[in-house]
Structure 1
């Protein structure tokens, strides 16, 4: 009778061990699935961040290119005005050397649009 009792306890312990192993395997499988899910979410999040950062950088680049273009146009306009003023000064000096003070006043008045 004692042998049957021990055998029953042994079989109960075996069932308990098997149940624990099954539970551990289920937990391990669920943990692996959760880890894979979290990795996928993390990769998607990183992808979104990279995409958003890339979009922001593209917008910033376009803005800087527009500013550069405007600055170049402003420089071209400034150069045109500077060249025009240099030519006018050189012409005024040439007129002064050739004609004297009377003609210089007339030329200056022409430049200013008074005549």
Structure 2
């Protein structure tokens, strides 16, 4: 399974949200949620009985998917917030592969 990138597959550990949450880190994610106006909603979500006490990473992951369109919005916002040196390896490999594919010949 570790050789999948050699065959043109770019594999996230869990999924895209997981990669972006890990790359930004919890403080970066929480700051992003505040900046885009979702901080209060996230705090309310984390206070729900089912989510209280769970790791913040799990809460962030689930919060991304509980409202229509939020996964797409958060993926875009998180990707834009990433410093170039923190881009997750599968995303960096995909971008490099696309760059090679689209390069003028």
**What TM-score range do you get, normalising by the shorter chain?**
under 0.3
Specify which structure has the bigger relative contact order, considering alpha-carbon pairs within 8 angstroms and separated by 6 or more residues. Answer: 2
Give the TM-score of the pair, scaled to structure 1.
Answer: 0.20
Rg larger in 1 or in 2? Answer: 1
TM-score normalised according to structure 2 size: 0.21
